[in-house]
Chain A
């Protein structure tokens, strides 16, 4: 509301100031005229040009110029023709007002030969006012671009924040005291009984920590990279829980190079471990699946754990939903289906895009 009001105040304020400025021009041209009369006339004229400018704005709002290019000549032509017509129309009104305001002798003369009177008026004012209309058009597009840029910046900042949050979360999970200390304890046991496995577990843990610390500000990684992370994590959990955890990963090769946001699967995998294995005394199974369905990439993480009550979801998935919305808007979907005692299925659908090097399609 206030932003809109400010824009309107600026619009009419600009026309008012311009009116005063043009008064000074008139004062130079007709030094004998009363200043008050000139001010009034100019303000009235600029009120008319302001209204004419509204016509320009209306058209610009409906058919904005997206870019200056020959291919997109339609809006350019439209605004050129429209600004000519609007200026002409405005000029006629302004001329009528000027005639109305002038001395009786002048008025009589102008009405006797209106065409030549208007032609004189036209030659002095048309070109200048046409430029004004273009200025209005330019100002509108400038403002529009500015707002768009601001919105984009805001969005980029939000996206960055989400990513940072996701990274943070992933880091916290590895450094989650339980995970970390229990893993170290397992390694401590393996050092004596099975040095090879101790080595393996230690290097998995190192991989995991390195991947989290190294992951830059990239908005996308390949599914292969994302899976490597989750599999590193699952490999450790499998050693820890031994016979209590079975992991199946089913990802066809064609999906491995697809782009996904980093740490997309991790919170889902961690939830599956948490509700599927860590809280249960019996053995459980976690399945990670990916497949391509036409233009969509489908990712699923399923556990056969104890499930959770509907309507309750962790911070991890809340963050996932927001990130997906920011990155893909309505071209994605996320669902979490859980049945108490039977397990949970998390399903993500997003556009299938190949390669991490490409820029995101907005």
Chain B
């Protein structure tokens, strides 16, 4: 059986290095190379590889961001590659995930590849889940998140999200005149956003404080939230407490 491999690194020479190493492995075929996180997510979807060599540090969307965007349950077996990241390395050790430290030699590469081959039979879904969760606890609020938009993907600056609306099993992110649907719960998305900026105002709404124009009294202890673009939302009494610092 031939393994389909995807190589993700923002430095061309680093990708080249892995390609060189894979030349000697007859059971591995490289199906693609990605120079950034966004491309990586697209290629994982398009080529559904059996193995991903994933650089941890990349601009805009890093390796863990890629895993989150693809979804831990859909993420193929992954070999993380890093130049230097003590936190990541610690997390790999804790979760028994093999990784490659740059630069590496053939012996080390082979051992990592053997580990990756073994993952083909025992899916690492659960391991990845806890790995990403531990990573998130260190860096809880990413600057950007990747969301699916129609057939493609959009890398959103979290600060540019104006408000978020609950829609069944999804949340709708309202950003600069358009909106994006994301498979996520309200509690789930709230955890990933900076609490000093994003507040839940209703069972089905989260707002970015930067985009609020004014608050007006409404019926039954509720408040009317008027956004800068004119959108009117309700701040229900239940969530008023989180706003106390605000008035």
Contact = CB atoms under 8 A, between A and B. Distances in A.
Contacts of B57: 178
Interface in B1-47: 10-14, 16-17, 20, 35-36, 38
Contact of A242 (B12, B59, B101): B12
Interface residues of B, number: 20
B103 A181 contact: yes
B11 A240 contact: yes
Nearest to A176: B84
Interface stretch (A33-41, A105-113, A277-285): A277-285
A184 B104 CA distance: 10
Interface string B56-86: 0101100000000000000000000001100
A184 B20 contact: no
A184 B101 CA distance: 11
**Interface on chain A toward B: helix, strand, loop, or mixed SS?**
helix
Interface string A230-242: 0000000001111
Contact of B102 (A185, A192, A242): A185
Contacts of A279: 59-60
Interface in A177-228: 177-178, 180-182, 184-190, 192-193
Contacts of B36: 281
A189 B13 contact: yes
A188 B83 contact: no
Interface in A269-306: 278-281
B84 A281 contact: no
B11 A184 contact: no
Interface in B80-96: 83-84
Contacts of B13: 185-186, 189-190, 239-240, 242
B60 A187 contact: no
Interface of A: 177-178, 180-182, 184-190, 192-193, 239-244, 278-281
Given A181-B83, A241-B11, A281-B60, 12 more contacts: A177-B84, A182-B11, A184-B102, A184-B103, A185-B11, A185-B17, A186-B11, A188-B103, A189-B13, A193-B20, A239-B13, A279-B59
